[in-house]
Amino acid sequence: MDSEGSVAVTFRSRSENRDRLVNSHRDLKVTATTRKPLSWKTERAHWKRGIFSIMGVDEAGRGPLAGPVVAAAVYFDYNTCKNFPKSLRDLNDSKQLKEEERERFYTLIVKHARSWGVGIVSREAIDRINILQATMQAMTLAVEQAAQKLAVEEIVPELLLVDGNYFRTSLPYEYRTVVDGDAKSPLIAAASVIAKVTRDRIMYKLHELYPQYNFASNKGYSVPEHLRALKEHGPCPEHRRSFRPERFQGELGFELLTKEG
């Protein structure tokens, strides 16, 4: 290639690199400044019905191949909702937040919530009763724990707002499911943060026991590095026996686990 061609290629490469950097910074700025803020529209519809004692409920960990499923329930007083602390006004769906933001909001939610609860259902229970029932159980445990704290003050939840399109519980509370509720309702978003942070902390501990799977990074989800580790090391005791994804059969040894159950 002649020198003129070399210069042209170098120029294009530098230009492309510059454009990539500009686009990258722009994307980061857009993410930080245009994240859709949550409103109280979902809660307000029930306030208008005279229902003010509302608890948000959400879960984390339905989809991973390993670890427990965790649910959380969060209760803010009506007056706190109407005059939401300034430090919590950027609260959002936990999936929209960076890890450091989730940790910060976790601390703030625990500080300002009138009550909150967590329900954890183990890998063993997931395999015994299936992930859907385990999720319902975790949500029930979370609500029960939060409600017990409120009972001391003679407060009874009038309504549960639950993320998703399905919920069943043995508890005697009225409930409404909200599709994508963690991106719509501050109460559900708060529960999503508590559930996600709690489960992540559990996965960090499991990482110490089974570092070969890098649970600290992938949290048990079926990302490429986790699948490579499974292929190399096989499953550990925290991998869900009842999860039988066809594309993993044979290649990852999950069929060995299903024979036990």
Cβ atoms 205, 67 nearer than 8 A: no
Q: Which residue range is the domain that position 218 belongs to?
A: 209-258
Collapsed DSSP state (helix, strand, coil) of residue 155: coil
3 state DSSP class of 176: strand
Say if residue 108 is in the same domain as residue 169. Answer: yes
User: What local confidence, expressed as pLDDT, does residue 36 receive?
Assistant: 75
Per-residue pLDDT, 12: 40
Domain assignment of residue 169, yes or no: yes
The model's confidence at residue 247, banded by pLDDT at 50, 70 and 90, is: low
pLDDT tens by residue, 138-148: 999 999 999 99
Closest by CA to 36, choosing from 113, 81, 111, 92, is 92
Residue 176 in domain: yes
Q: Distance between CA atoms of 260 and 19, rounded to whole angstroms? A: 54
Ranges 67-81, 103-117, 123-137, 227-241: which has the least confidence: 227-241
Q: Do 218 and 201 have their domain in common?
A: no
Would you state the structure tokens that stand for residue 187, as one six-digit string? 């109460």
User: In the prediction, which pLDDT does 153 show?
Assistant: 94
For tokens 């529209």, the residue is: 41
pLDDT surpassing 60 at residue 152: yes
Percent of the chain predicted with pLDDT > 70? 80
Are residues 108 and 86 in contact, defined by beta-carbon separation less than 8 angstroms? no
Question: Is pLDDT of 124 > 90?
Answer: yes
Are 213 and 126 contained in the same domain?
A: no
Classified as helix, coil or strand, 33 is: helix
pLDDT at 245: 53
Residue 14 has pLDDT above 60, yes or no: no
Mean of pLDDT over the chain: 86
- Give the model's pLDDT for residue 37: 79
Report the candidate in 93, 87, 75 with the shortest Cα–Cα distance to residue 36.
93
Same domain? 69 vs 117 = yes
**Domain match, 137 and 174 both:** yes
Q: Is residue 88 part of a domain?
A: yes
Same domain membership, residue 77 and residue 160:
yes
Host H or E run for residue 102: helix 99-112
164 and 49 in one domain? yes
